[in-house]
Amino acid sequence: MAAGRRSLCLLLTLFSVLRVIAKKVLPGDKPVCGVAMNAFPQPSPVIVEPYRSCRLCPRRCGVNRVVGERGVCGESAELRVAAVEAHYGEEPPISGVHGSGTVFFSGCSLRCAFCQNYQISLFHTGKVTTVPQLVDRLEELYRSPGIHNVNFVTPDHFLPHTVAVVEELHRRGLRLPILYNMSGYAEKDSLKMLQGVADIYLPDYKYADADLARALSHAPDYPQIALDALVEMVRQVGFLDERPIAERGVLVRHLVLPGHIQNSLDALTTLFLEFGRDLPISLMSQYWPARPVKQPEMNRRLARNEFETVCEHADALGFRRLFVQRTDGNDDDFLPDFRRERPFKGNIRNTDNKD
């Protein structure tokens, strides 16, 4: 019996030693039994906690995403990313020469019926990844082609992860402007989490018409919530600076929707009354019917005269800094297909070898 107890004690001691050794294995160490010790890293409690009763977005679902429950955004607490690449289709101060380091997250809390990124926002195309893996990819893009910023696209439902990404970038000595590219439908308390983290905000102001917001995004509260969110963003970082490559500030986007020109006119008027003529505005004509919607007037491209009517109204209001995107309707370089490794054809440079 004594020999048996000694053997058992020896085995328990050996097991404890192996556990200690396993905990001390550093990222990049050789795999044990063919599996890297960091193959399944666990997020820190700081990242996980906000997902336990998720109220990150205005939907305030309250679900426990940590155990796999899903709210409106359709995502658990696992970080899911659809694409990471240098993007050349943003406004000139954002894309610059070397591109914006875009991170396209899967899922979305707004879920617009007409979303051109519907493959990821509605159908959740993407792969589960980790903060270190995402930072590795951004570091590659920083080295070549030399991205000007890190651009989190529709990140509301993964905000704690984005903060962790920024912290890891800084730990590695990479200090790029951090850009939050958002739908505008943002929780004010969540935005306060980004104070000192976000350098640039690139929000939409989609709707001034609550009925249209209800019909297309199931969000009749969008106009006021988005306006309140914009006020908070401007409070944090001001208006977009006038450097050739932006480093700080807010630039508000508005996509003109076919058949709903009055919504655009009212949206611009609202923004003018709230912020004045110095608010930087980007007017976009890129709408395309990515998938059929219930509103028949929206199953077509935007007419040129519709867009020009909106531009004329912006000029009449006196907006001083307007970015105007005019397209001929035939340019599909920045119409995405997230089934491809490189979703945007326009991001493939002559020096690239990937399809």
Are the CB atoms for 295 and 216 separated by under 8 Å? yes
Residue 304 has pLDDT above 50, yes or no: yes
pLDDT at 352: 55
Mean pLDDT, rounded, of the chain: 87
Predicted confidence (pLDDT) per residue in 145-177, tens digit: 999 999 999 999 999 999 999 999 999 999 999
**Residue range 331-354: average pLDDT?**
72
pLDDT at 155: 98
Split at pLDDT 50, 70, 90, the class of 33 is very low
pTM summary value: 0.85
Domain boundaries, the chain: 78-347
Helix (H, G, I), strand (E, B), or coil: what is residue 118? Answer: helix
pLDDT at 332: 74
Residue 122 has pLDDT above 70, yes or no: yes
**Residue range 127-138: average pLDDT?**
97
CA gap 349, 88 in Å, rounded: 10
CA gap 180, 111 in Å, rounded: 18
Predicted confidence (pLDDT) per residue in 216-247, tens digit: 999 999 999 999 999 999 999 999 999 999 99
Are the CB atoms for 164 and 197 separated by under 8 Å? no
CA gap 149, 160 in Å, rounded: 19
Are the CB atoms for 111 and 285 separated by under 8 Å? no
Q: Which residue has the tokens 């440079």?
A: 349
pLDDT at 339: 81
Q: Extract the tokens encoding 292.
A: 């059929």
Split at pLDDT 50, 70, 90, the class of 27 is very low
Is the CATH number of domain 78-347 3.40.630.40?
no
**Residue range 314-343: average pLDDT?**
84
**Residue range 322-338: average pLDDT?**
77
DSSP 275: H
Residue 1 has pLDDT above 80, yes or no: no
DSSP 42: P
Residue 136 has pLDDT above 60, yes or no: yes
Residue 315 has pLDDT above 60, yes or no: yes
Element (H, E) at 309: helix 304-317
Split at pLDDT 50, 70, 90, the class of 330 is low
Residue 39 has pLDDT above 80, yes or no: no
Predicted confidence (pLDDT) per residue in 54-94, tens digit: 999 999 999 999 999 999 999 999 999 999 999 999 999 99
Predicted confidence (pLDDT) per residue in 247-282, tens digit: 999 999 999 999 999 999 999 999 999 999 999 999
Split at pLDDT 50, 70, 90, the class of 349 is low
Are the CB atoms for 331 and 289 separated by under 8 Å? no
